[in-house]
């Protein structure tokens, strides 16, 4: 049992690059000319003792075979198939329930080439996998470039594997090739949440359950995305293989794999609980509207995106993983726990951005248990496959083979991370009134980013660590169609189209410089335009609505006009506020009521404009110093209505009495119309 734990932990650590890099295969490349029109590419593998390299000739569903993909070129053509000698050793493997062939000590692969010109450069990609009697290393993929000079006599020239002709090593490479940050470092990101989805605990308890379910589902989706990252996906067949190989029975293998999966869940849930206990749900909720936090998160996502594109790799300290490796030698249940801990540590470069995004967004929903629930969903998606494949090893045959597609997933998530980062920068721009990042600029950047992603999926853009894309697969084609269609969908937004599908992520329509849409939807109420609005130079209401941005001034105006009040607690960084404004407030019936029946008071709880010194005070509710406009309205909301989430809509009369139960985020237009009508009816009675 101790050996099983140590071996599996070592596989995990070696795969993600934290333990010593094992290099059991040394590759050399020989250009062997036959005559002026023919040559051989001879690739030799020297294999360390006790290790074996898998043959080219293994049926699908087994370990990764050695394979060669030669780039197409007019300068040369392939003659026949790649041969290998000596003959491979062959035996039946119980883990894969099939005949497996491999080589020991050394093997020579040879591919005959027809030359169409005297001097050519043969390029290609080599993928291979090696194992010994205790462990397997993850599949490796490297690209090569071999110059061939045609001569009249039979000669050969050894081509050393150097950085000049080894175009791109993928995963950890041979001893003569430098290790790069390609398929091993992966991320993304991707999956993105509504940073301000709300719930009203004292008025609408069902919202809490809905939010927790949304967090769980988002976490589960994030876990599925993490599963197809290069740090985790190849570990599925390898880890399960060792569970089934070393166990005395199928039941024992299932029990061990189930414990392993259970500990994965425990570790991630404990992480979520720790975040909440350390910071508290209120503090985490405040982070979502904090300008400094939003800017730091923007920088963090850009850094992650750059790493996805292959510039560098983000890893936790090696010492942490090494300590977990040592503790895994304890064996038994304790050893399995530290194996799971090692997986969590060494896969950080793949899972870190997903976990970070999930924790931040879950916490910002205002749910005390949000981070833990999100981590439960995330870890459940990771843990299920290990148990499932241990119970049914034959399912491993249905898994796609590791390869360049994993790196494509990483780069794709890099584009998405970069796009999402702009949302956080927009939040900062709005909160501090920089007025540098308006709606048009945001849309231009998104159009360029997603357009480049579409061309990348079609193979028109290639990064240094990408494999060649000789043809576009069906999944890539459909993803490219979706991405490019989305890109074209955004273009009318440059002239003011509302783009309701993504309006929640865009800067407000009021930041649009050239807007052909808003004035056709509504027109300002001229009779009220003469009122000098406090903070009117800082804020603008959507759809040309005539809103007040100061509570007391709005109350006084409502009393003068004898109208009820719609008190709108909102925020610059409130995603759901933008959704409500775009999808609900734009409805003609809703807009008519907002224009004619109510006095709208919009209070931005995250605005960073400092109050005059004589208006600053210490809150009697929280004891905190109130220094900014956002502090003032946030304190008002928390002290008066005992909630701090947005959007939050309260219908009042001018005496500050609540007319009907307040409402939060709800995209049901009929519900909102009923809400406004019930407020009008209550106002007339009172």
pLDDT tens, residue by residue, 479-535: 999 999 999 999 999 998 888 888 778 888 778 888 777 655 544 443 445 678 888
Shared domain for 598 and 637, answered yes or no, is yes
Percent of the chain with pLDDT over 70: 69
Same domain? 116 vs 54: yes
pLDDT of residue 151: 64
> pLDDT-derived band of residue 357, with 50, 70 and 90 as boundaries?
low
Cα separation of 362 and 285, whole Å?
Answer: 9
Q: Are 637 and 549 in contact (CB under 8 A)?
A: no
419 within some domain: no
The last residue of a domain, from among 135, 170, 205: 170
Residue 370 near residue 382 (C-beta atoms within 8 A): no
Residues 644, 681, single domain; the answer is: yes
Higher pLDDT, residue 199 or 458:
458
Taking the C-alpha atoms of residue 271 and residue 327, their distance in angstroms, rounded to an integer, is: 20
Write down the pLDDT at residue 2. Answer: 40
Domain that includes residue 562, residue range: 525-685
Q: 226 and 209 in one domain?
A: yes
pLDDT reading at 366 higher than 70: no
Q: Is the peptide bond before 143 cis (omega within 30 degrees of 0)?
A: no
Confidence of residue 670 (pLDDT cuts 50, 70, 90): very high
Question: What's the CA gap between 367 and 207, in Å, rounded?
Answer: 10
With a cut of 50, say whether residue 12 has pLDDT above it. Answer: no
Residues 640 and 669 placed together within one structural domain of the fold: yes
Residues 69 and 185 in one domain: no
Domain boundary among 144, 170, 196: 170
Q: Is the pLDDT of residue 205 over 90?
A: no
Helix (H) or strand (E) holding 168: strand 168-170
When pLDDT is cut at 50, 70 and 90, the band that residue 184 belongs to is very low
Q: How many CA atoms lie within 13 Å of 149's alpha carbon, on the beta-carbon side?
A: 7
pLDDT value at 191 more than 50: no
Is 50 exceeded by the pLDDT of residue 215? yes
pLDDT tens digits for range 575-599: 788 888 888 998 889 999 999 999 9
pLDDT in tens, 374-396: 888 888 888 888 778 777 777 76
The answer on 347 and 485 residing in a single domain is no
Q: What is the mean pLDDT of residues 100-119?
A: 88
In a domain, 338, yes or no: yes
Classify residue 418: in a domain, yes or no.
no
Residues 132, 212: one domain? no
pLDDT at 414 over 50: yes
Residue 274: per-residue pLDDT:
75
In this structure, what token pair is assigned to residue 63?
């370990």
**Full 3-state SS string of 470-486:** CCCCHHHHHHHHHHHHH
Please give the residue that has the higher pLDDT: either 124 or 401. Answer: 124
Q: What is the model's pLDDT at position 526?
A: 39
Q: What is the pLDDT of residue 577?
A: 86
pLDDT digits (tens, 9 = 90+) for 224-274: 877 776 667 666 766 666 666 666 677 777 787 788 888 888 888 887 777
Q: 412 lies in a domain?
A: no
Top mean-pLDDT range of 40-54, 185-199, 478-492, 647-661: 478-492
Instruction: Compute the mean pLDDT over every residue in the chain, rounded to the nearest whole number.
Output: 75
433 vs 418 pLDDT, higher one: 418
Judged against a pLDDT cut of 50, whether residue 108 lies above it is answered with: yes
Residue 555: inside a domain, yes or no? yes
CATH of the domain at 71: 2.60.40.1250
Q: What is the pLDDT of residue 321?
A: 53
Q: Do 306 and 383 sit in the same domain of this protein?
A: yes
Average pLDDT over residues 666-674: 91
Is the pLDDT at 562 greater than 80? The verdict is yes
- pLDDT higher than threshold 80 for residue 22: no
342 or 109, greater pLDDT: 109
Same domain, 320 and 356: yes
Confidence of residue 426 (pLDDT cuts 50, 70, 90): confident
Instruction: Give the pLDDT of residue 331.
Output: 58
| 450 and 549 assigned to the same domain | no
Contact 260, 11 (CB under 8 A): no
More confident residue, 75 or 283: 75
Q: Is residue 411 part of a domain?
A: no
**Residue 338 pLDDT exceeds 80:** no
Query: What pLDDT digit, counting tens, does each position of 128-150 carry?
Result: 888 876 566 666 777 788 888 77
Of 132, 347, 136, which is closest to residue 240 (Cα–Cα)?
A: 136
Q: What is the mean pLDDT of residues 74-82?
A: 88
Task: Classify residue 424: in a domain, yes or no.
Answer: no
Mark whether 40 and 6 lie in a shared domain.
no
Answer whether residue 421 is part of any domain: no
Point out which residues pair with 108 in neighbouring strands: 44, 85
- Of 365 and 22, the structure prediction assigns the larger pLDDT to 22
Query: Mean pLDDT across the stretch 294-314?
Result: 79
Q: Which residues of 480-502 are buried (b: 16+ CB within 10 A; e: fewer)?
A: beebbebbeebeebeebbbbeeb
Least confident range from 167-176, 232-241, 633-642: namely 167-176
Residues 6+ apart with CB under 8 A from 362: 193, 215, 218, 219, 272, 370, 371, 373, 374
The last residue of one of the domains, among 384, 404, 424, is 404
- Residues 602, 547: Cα–Cα separation, whole Å: 7
Query: What's the pLDDT score for residue 300?
Result: 79
| Other beta carbons within 10 Å of 298 | 19
Q: Which CATH number characterizes residue 652's domain?
A: 3.40.30.10
Tell me the pLDDT tens digit for each residue of 606-637: 888 899 999 899 988 878 889 999 889 988 98
pLDDT of residue 174: 36
* Strand order from edge to edge, sheet including 547-548: 547-548, 599-604, 565-570, 648-652
Query: 197-201, 212-216, 346-350: which has the minimum mean pLDDT?
Result: 197-201
Higher pLDDT pick, 220 / 279:
220
Domain count for the chain: 4
* pLDDT value at 189 more than 50: no
């Amino acid at each position: 049992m101790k050996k099983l734990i140590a071996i599996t932990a070592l596989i995990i650590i070696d795969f993600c690059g934290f333990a010593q890099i094992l290099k059991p295969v040394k590759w050399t490349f020989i250009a062997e000319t036959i005559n002026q029109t023919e040559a051989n590419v001879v690739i030799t593998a020297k294999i360390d003792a006790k290790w074996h390299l898998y043959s080219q000739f293994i049926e699908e569903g087994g370990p990764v075979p050695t394979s060669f993909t030669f780039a197409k070129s007019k300068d040369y053509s392939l003659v026949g198939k790649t041969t290998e000698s000596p003959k491979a050793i062959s035996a039946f493997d119980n883990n894969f329930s099939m005949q497996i062939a491999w080589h020991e000590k050394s093997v020579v692969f040879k591919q005959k080439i027809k030359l169409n010109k005297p001097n050519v450069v043969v390029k290609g990609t080599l993928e291979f996998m090696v194992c010994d009697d205790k462990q397997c290393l993850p599949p490796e993929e490297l690209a090569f470039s071999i110059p061939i000079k045609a001569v009249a006599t039979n000669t050969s020239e050894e081509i050393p594997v150097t950085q000049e002709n080894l175009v791109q090593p993928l995963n950890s490479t041979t001893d003569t090739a430098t290790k790069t940050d390609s398929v091993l470092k992966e991320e993304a990101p991707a999956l993105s949440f509504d940073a301000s989805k709300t719930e009203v605990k004292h008025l609408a308890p069902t919202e809490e359950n809905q939010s927790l379910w949304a967090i769980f589902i988002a976490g589960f989706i994030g876990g599925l995305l993490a599963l197809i990252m290069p740090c985790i996906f190849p570990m599925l067949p390898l880890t399960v293989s060792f569970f089934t190989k070393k166990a005395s029975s199928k039941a024992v293998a299932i029990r061990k794999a189930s414990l392993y999966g259970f500990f994965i869940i425990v570790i991630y849930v404990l992480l979520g609980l720790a975040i909440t206990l350390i910071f508290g749900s209120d503090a985490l909720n405040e982070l979502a509207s904090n300008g400094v936090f939003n800017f730091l998160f923007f920088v963090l996502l850009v850094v992650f995106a750059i790493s996805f594109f292959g510039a560098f790799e983000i890893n936790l300290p090696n010492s942490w993983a090494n300590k977990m490796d040592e503790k895994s030698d304890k064996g038994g249940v304790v050893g399995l726990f530290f194996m799971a801990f090692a997986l969590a540590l060494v896969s950080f470069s793949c899972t870190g951005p997903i976990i970070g995004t999930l924790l931040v967004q879950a916490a910002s929903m205002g749910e005390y248990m949000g981070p833990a629930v999100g981590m439960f969903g995330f870890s459940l998606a990771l843990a299920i496959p290990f148990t499932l494949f241990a119970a049914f090893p034959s399912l491993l045959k249905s898994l796609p083979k590791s390869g360049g597609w994993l790196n494509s997933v990483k780069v794709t998530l890099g584009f998405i991370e970069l796009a999402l980062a702009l949302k956080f920068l927009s939040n900062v721009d709005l909160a501090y009134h920089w007025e540098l990042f308006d709606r048009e600029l945001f849309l231009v950047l998104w159009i360029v980013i997603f357009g480049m992603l579409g061309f990348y999926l079609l193979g028109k853009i290639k990064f240094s660590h990408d494999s060649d894309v000789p043809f576009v697969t069906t999944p890539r084609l459909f993803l490219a169609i979706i991405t490019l269609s989305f890109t074209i969908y955004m273009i009318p937004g440059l002239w003011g189209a509302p783009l309701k599908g993504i309006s929640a992520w865009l800067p407000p329509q009021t930041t649009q410089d050239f807007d052909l849409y808003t004035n056709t939807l509504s027109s300002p109420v001229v009779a009220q335009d003469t009122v000098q609005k406090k903070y009117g130079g800082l804020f603008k209401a959507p759809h040309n609505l005539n809103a007040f941005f100061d509570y007391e001034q709005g109350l006084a105006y409502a009393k003068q006009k004898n109208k009820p009040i719609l008190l709108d607690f909102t925020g610059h960084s409130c995603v759901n506020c933008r959704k409500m404004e775009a999808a609900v407030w734009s409805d003609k019936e809703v807009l008519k009521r907002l224009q004619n029946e109510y006095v709208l008071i919009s209070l931005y709880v995250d605005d960073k404009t400092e109050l005059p010194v004589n208006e600053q005070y210490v809150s009697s509710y929280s004891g905190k110093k109130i220094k900014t406009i956002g502090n003032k309205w946030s304190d008002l909301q928390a002290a008066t209505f005992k909630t701090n989430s947005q959007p939050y809509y309260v219908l009042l009369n001018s005496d500050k009495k609540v007319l009907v139960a307040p409402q939060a985020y709800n995209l049901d237009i009929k519900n909102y119309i009923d809400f406004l009508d019930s407020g009008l009816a209550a106002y007339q009675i009172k």
